[in-house]
A and B are shown apart, each in its own frame.
Chain A
Amino acid sequence: MEPSLPFYILATLSVFSALMVVLSRKPVHSVLYLIFCFFTIGCHYLLLNAQFLFAVHIIVYTGAIMVLFLFSIMFINMNKESEPHKNTLIKIAAGVLAGLLFLVLLEATKGAETLGPPSPNESYSTVANLGKVLYGQYLLPFEIISIMLLSAMVGAVMLGKKSVD
């Protein structure tokens, strides 16, 4: 099935904003473009008829994580003078590495099977079905991930406490 017009509009927007994250001069602008980028990616989930994923993506990434990001960027006063300048060799090495990583990603996604947009009546993406799959078929990985998140959270609290004292 051919991708629809909304997909092309959204895809253009997300690629544009992703580029602007790297290209804009002010750090706050970069973060705002990143927020917009996450938002458009969330909208891609809507096109795939996964409303729950869309909502969670918006709430968690766009709403919570990026607010904290914006927070810290606003507090750090980043000036052009204080920006450390790397030498040319490191810049070239970083460019080559990033290009190689991009190639690996391209290779990995090339073989993946293409999924067409599902029909609107398909119910696999409802919350109830998602819950059944998570708590039935994938119970063990789900629990392990939650323990990992918990330990990360405890660690973060410990680190935060140390810096206050």
Chain B
Amino acid sequence: MEFILFKLVLVISVFVASLLIAMYSTYGERKIAAFFQDRLGPNRAGPFGLLQPLADGVKMFMKEEIIPTNADKALFILGPCVMMMTACMTGVVIPWGNSLIIGGQEYMMQITDINIGILYVFGVVSIGVYGIMIGGWASNNKYSLMGAIRGSSQMISYELAMGLAIIALIMTTGTLSIREMVQQQHGAHWNVFYQPLGFLLFIICAFAECNRTPFDLPECETELVGGYHTEYSSMKLGFYLFAEYINMFISSAIIASLYFGGYNFPFLSNLGLSHNALSLLGTAVFFGKIFFFIFLFMWIRWTIPRFRYDQLMHLGWRIMIPLALFNILLTALVVLWRSGQLG
């Protein structure tokens, strides 16, 4: 009973946290953009403009909802639903912290630790493509369709390199469960030191999967009006934009837990704190890492211009995939050499 109650609390808090963080990422994005461009950013609603996300949300809900006459109505609604659902599904396998001991019983701060955690993430991400494709096609608009096609081909291309980068990581850690990967990085044995090339490939692919600059071609305004969500208005548009921020949060969490030790930090066990306090501190550190990566996403967005489409495909297929394959070979050699089987 307590077990179910704890999991329920955890599910709700992860859900609420991802929505809240996504909400305030929009605020952060605008503030950071303003800083990079020497402006002030939103500062009217509330102190420092802190109520701006709320105002934006109310605006989105209150706007008139338009479904184009020639659109496929059911699919037009299904598009943003799929997008939002897949964005919220990935948080399930991420270990948000170590365990808490309440009343002599140990509770893991992770919704579920399935033994194929990382593959689950890939599965959900690969389904996420359909949100863009369905929405773009159902709008019955050339620009939307072009945006959708671009978005999905980009995501398929970079999913390959991402998978190959992860294979090298799996070879060194020997597990598919994200929790075990995090536990192996106890202390300062972060995977980024063992897999620098893999990490670089992974983070580039994560940018491409989130459709963030420099890979935001699906919504390239200068060529495609608004991209796949040109015809969308009101909260359906809001869901598309919001899902992007949730995806950013989740991919930051995955990068932090796969390559930067998750809830581990150096000298963790030398502090002499109780188990629960250490776990909570670990969670705080984990969120610190996540916020750093969210900042990195924004930093790059406001610094680098977007690629041309053929450059994007060239990078994906001719550079990223061969590099990832090379990384696998290199990792295999090192793993064999270290286990003494190379003769």
Contact = CB atoms under 8 A, between A and B. Distances in A.
Contact of B116 (A28, A64, A68, A127): A127
A62 B127 CA distance: 7
Interface stretch (A9-17, A50-58, A96-104, A148-156): A50-58
A63 B129 contact: yes
A75 to B, nearest CB: 8
B1 to A, nearest CB: 20
Contacts of B116: 51-52, 54-55, 127
Contacts of A7: none
A74 interface: yes
A55 B122 contact: yes
A28 B157 CA distance: 22
Nearest to A28: B137
A63 B123 CA distance: 7
A59 B123 contact: yes
Interface residues of A, number: 24
B126 A52 contact: no
A59 B134 contact: no
A58 B149 contact: no
A48 interface: no
Interface in A10-47: 26, 28-29, 32, 35, 39
> Taking chain A's interface residues, is the majority helix, strand, or loop, or is none over half, making it mixed?
helix
Contacts of A58: 123, 126-127
A74 B145 contact: yes
A64 B149 contact: no
A132 to B, nearest CB: 14
Interface string B134-165: 10010000000100110011001001000000
A64 B159 CA distance: 9
Interface in B101-139: 114-116, 119-120, 122-123, 125-127, 129-130, 133-134, 137
A126 interface: yes
B320 interface: no
A51 B115 contact: yes
A71 interface: yes
B176 interface: yes
Interface of A: 26, 28-29, 32, 35, 39, 51-52, 54-56, 58-59, 62-64, 67-68, 70-71, 74-75, 126-127
